[in-house]
Amino acid sequence: MDFKLPYEYKSAKTVSIVPISKIRGSAQTTNHETSTVIAGCLKGFNLPILQSTQRYLKLFGPEVQAKLEEDLGLEKNTLTFTSADPSKGVKYWNRQTVYLDKSGKKFDLSDPMDYIHFAIMYAQNSVAKTFADIKKKTGEYEFYFLDEEEKARTENTSIKERAKASAKAFELTESTSKMIKFLKVHTGKAPDKAWGVDKLENAVLNLSTQNPKEFLKTIEDEDYEIKLLIAEAVQTKNLIVEGKNYNQGYRLGWSDTKDYIATNKNEMVAWLKNPANNKAKLLIESKTREALGESEK
């Protein structure tokens, strides 16, 4: 398959290349020397050489090549990849090294030199073409391309997400009961009974700021009430979890037959939503409320 650049020369576009941050358990700024896959030093990148031909990878066609040579004031075929006199191209490409550090780099695609350097970097196997590519091949990349327009959209979405999560979190803090129920659904277990209001509020607010997306996923889940029922039924042993399997609860008078209702939470949600299981669901609800008592209502 021929190599193809995603943007044309002279595009009114700026593209950034940035280092991939390490995932760490402790707090650390992105400017810290070891906060990225590369640490503190310059790294050089050259145009790749194809193993099959032992020639440089062809980055662009003759029309773009001619335009770049004209704009850079270079002799014809200086940027050649396939000329009968390959020494011209070899001589030029041998000198072209793109240096990056943990600050990354921006490329103005309307600038000829920036476009050449962008093309060289786009040809690197250690550079992810998008942020999404990083998740597909964890550990294989050092940098990734970040489209400035996409960056702005992503940041805008993130800002709105954080604001929305914060607003939802403050709504929850108006009620101790709501906070407890949310923590049950979000974490899968009840908070410590010894926790006071301040500790509950801190837990909810911290979750909303640490991962707003997951926070909103929980609070806006259409199955929130069913997942709350599951969490509370497990808490009161009206459902028994063994590994990922959900078994019949002892409090309901069912024997431990190892005949699982569901093999994961999603199946358990579907089982409770199934009208055929409505009688059992009502029994689980009743016994769970009875076991919880008035303190958490």
Per residue in 37-60, pLDDT tens?
A: 455 578 999 999 888 888 889 999
* 20 band by pLDDT with thresholds 50, 70 and 90: confident
For position 154, what pLDDT does the model report? 78
Three-class secondary structure assignment of 145-213: EEEHHHHHHHHHHHHHHHHHHHHHHHHHCCCHHHHHHHHHHHHCCCCCCCCCHHHHHHHHHHHHHHCHH
Q: Is the pLDDT of residue 33 over 60?
A: no
Strand partners, 248: 239
| pTM of the entire predicted model | 0.61
For position 30, what pLDDT does the model report? 42
Over the stretch 247-270, which tens digit does the pLDDT of each residue have?
876 555 555 555 678 989 999 999
Please compute the mean of the pLDDT values over residues 174-198 and round it to a whole number. 95
The CA-to-CA distance between both ends of the chain, in Å, stands at 63
Distance CA 282, CA 269 (A): 14
Distance CA 87, CA 81 (A): 10
| Per-domain residue ranges of the chain | 14-154, 176-292
